[in-house]
A and B are shown apart, each in its own frame.
Chain A
Amino acid sequence: EVQLLESGGGLVQPGESLRLSCAASGFTFSNYAMSWVRQAPGKGLEWVSSISGSGNSTYYADSVKGRCTISRDNSKNTLYLQMNSLRAEDTAVYYCAKTTPPDWYFDLWGRGTLVTVSS
């Protein structure tokens, strides 16, 4: 079955770090770009970051640039998002999504993992 399964979310205090993971199955992971998209409670979708299939190219939204690092391990079919210096405004459900360039649409989404930043 083709699926994405996120993990690693939780409650953290402002300034702390968290690493999200996304396990992929059912498709040739290394052939596809992957992305993280988040959704704050009651709000719309916000793109966070994307990475090419090889991992050689990465892209970030201005809101997380310098604080987040996207990476992937193609031998483990797993996508990661390292988030540092977390802020209250980073509170959201984080989805990983299979991504198709060059127009970067998202044709497969995981169920999401909730990150809550609060003291």
Chain B
Amino acid sequence: SYELTQPPSVSVSPGQTASITCSGDKLGDKYSSWYHQKPGRSPVLVIYQDTKRPSGIPERFSGSNSGNTATLTISGTQAMDEADYYCQAWDSSTAVVFGGGTKLTVL
């Protein structure tokens, strides 16, 4: 079955750039999506089709996907960006797959 691997945690200082990676076999050949989830809240889509932002998502959120790694980048990170982040892809053998999640701490 297909698997996506994320680091359990990432820390960043306010105003700096945070990068969260998601690794999977030939992930660059698939579309990746990213979600954030704050405690007690539902997930929210922040990036889809590798690089696209839904309406209402700030421009500081961007994505890339190449080789075996997709990356979510948050430029000028704010305290409100502190959340759990999940990557997701679709694979023909497993259908929908989520990464294990990354806790972003802004300190």
Query: Which residues in A have some Cβ–Cβ distance to B below 8 Å?
Result: 35, 37, 44-47, 50, 59, 61-62, 95, 100, 102-107, 109-112
Count of chain B residues with a beta carbon within 8 Å of a chain A beta carbon: 25
Query: Is A110 touching B86 in the complex (CB atoms < 8 A)?
Result: no
Q: Which residues of B contact A61 (CB under 8 A)?
A: 95-96
Q: Which residues of A contact B37 (CB under 8 A)?
A: 45
Q: Which residues of B contact A50 (CB under 8 A)?
A: 95-96
Query: Which residues in B have some Cβ–Cβ distance to A below 8 Å?
Result: 1, 30-31, 33, 35, 37, 42-45, 48-49, 54, 84, 86, 88-90, 95-101
Q: Which residues of B contact A111 (CB under 8 A)?
A: 42
Top 8 nearest A-B pairs by Cβ distance? A103-B31, A47-B96, A105-B33, A44-B101, A109-B42, A104-B90, A105-B48, A45-B98
In the complex, the chain A residue whose C-beta lies closest to that of B6 is A44
Q: Which residues of B contact A47 (CB under 8 A)?
A: 95-98
Given contacts A44-B101, A105-B48, A35 and B42 within 8 Å (CB-CB):
no
Q: Which residues of A contact B96 (CB under 8 A)?
A: 35, 47, 50, 59, 61, 104
In the complex, the chain B residue whose C-beta lies closest to that of A44 is B101
Q: Which of A35, A37, A103, A110 makes the CB contact (< 8 A) with B33?
A: A103
Query: Is B33 touching A109 in the complex (CB atoms < 8 A)?
Result: no
